[in-house]
Amino acid sequence: MAFHIGGNIKKLRAEKGVTQEQLAAQLSVTCQSVSKWENNVTSPDLYLLPAIADYFETSIDELFQPNMQGYKNKAERLLALYEHRRTTPNFGKANAEFDKLIGEGKADAEDYRNFGILNQFHAKVLNQKAEEALQKAIDMGSENAEGQLQYLLESLGRHRENIDKYEEAVHTNPERARSWQGLIASYAAVDPEKALEIASKCLEKFPGDDGILFWCGKLCKELKRFGEAEAYFTRAIASNPDGGSSYYHLAFLYTEMNEYEKAIWAWEQVIALGGRLGLADEQVEMEAEWPKREIAQLREMIDKP
């Protein structure tokens, strides 16, 4: 089987467009050594195999294949390398090559399909890293990371995991409002009516909790119970005037109700909130960009005959 490697090295060298001298210099061997490999006189030392595979952007296994697979272009070969060893550097190489191929207008349907596969695989890798990092943050005491992990699992369709996790959390510690909010949010993704039922009962236990009031408003808005939604958001703001989420959702609610002047008022409160929270001027300005765009659109709607 080892004799196949010589022909494969020759094939890869031709594909890459390098001479025997250039390959020898890269591997710190003599040109005669490369010639002997390619003519099946000798085989590369084992310690050189990783370097040869990396140089030709392929896998060690593939170097020994009797009928080494050909690739239509470098992007496809780099995708194969990433499939074999899913590292961030390998993704970066393949992604850059596909970007180049597309940018030059040379990509066909199969190239676009492969580009999609590459990013689909890497998204899975990144999601796993994100989950591990967020769980580590939670283990270290970060409550903010709880919501982010919940959102990640929700985006991946892992709703049952969220529900089971927070049902256990409220059973273990029923006095922790944050766990109840997590349970409400978990059900909100699959059963808004059930989520609102839980949230309404929670208000008996935590009557002034702005987070639970916010969820009641958000769920009522989703269920088109606009009057109740407005009342809940208003109560949430009264409980916590610096709770930005309620202002955002109140602005969207008023827009959906065609109450454009009220929506403008809500967006103005979002802008004012940045100043009240003591953010840096640059951050206040960045945070205000979106509300200002919404306000401009609302004014256009008001001014329409």
Q: Kindly state the average pLDDT of the residues 142-158.
A: 94
pLDDT the model gives residue 203 = 94
φ/ψ of 56, rounded to 5, equals -90, 5
pLDDT band per the 50, 70, 90 thresholds, residue 224: very high
Mean pLDDT over the full length of the chain? 91
Poorest-confidence range of 63-67, 123-127, 211-215, 234-238? 63-67
Q: What is the domain range of residue 77?
A: 4-103
Assess if residue 49 is contained within a domain: yes
pLDDT the model gives residue 2 = 52
Number of domains in the chain: 1
Q: What is the pLDDT of residues 4-28, one digit of tens each?
A: 889 899 988 887 789 999 999 999 9
Q: What is the pLDDT of residues 251-261, one digit of tens each?
A: 999 999 999 99
pLDDT the model gives residue 1 = 46
- pTM of the complete model beyond 0.85: no
Q: What is the pLDDT of residues 235-255, one digit of tens each?
A: 999 999 988 889 999 999 999
Assess if residue 280 is contained within a domain: no
φ/ψ of 177, rounded to 5, equals -65, -35
Assess if residue 189 is contained within a domain: no
Q: Is 91 exposed, middle or buried (0-12, 13-18, 19+ CB in 10 A)?
A: buried
Q: Kindly state the average pLDDT of the residues 296-305.
A: 89
Query: Quick one: CA torsion of 232, 238, 243, 244, rounded to 10 degrees?
Result: 70
Q: Do 214 and 249 form a contact (C-beta atoms < 8 A)?
A: yes
Residue whose tokens read 């939670």: 138
Q: What is the pLDDT of residues 78-103, one digit of tens each?
A: 898 898 888 999 999 999 999 999 99
Q: Kindly state the average pLDDT of the residues 127-151.
A: 95
pLDDT the model gives residue 11 = 86
- CATH code, 58: 1.10.260.40
pLDDT at 31 over 70: yes
Assess if residue 33 is contained within a domain: yes
Q: Kindly state the average pLDDT of the residues 196-206.
A: 95
Q: What is the pLDDT of residues 154-179, one digit of tens each?
A: 999 999 999 999 999 999 999 999 99
pLDDT at 127 over 60: yes
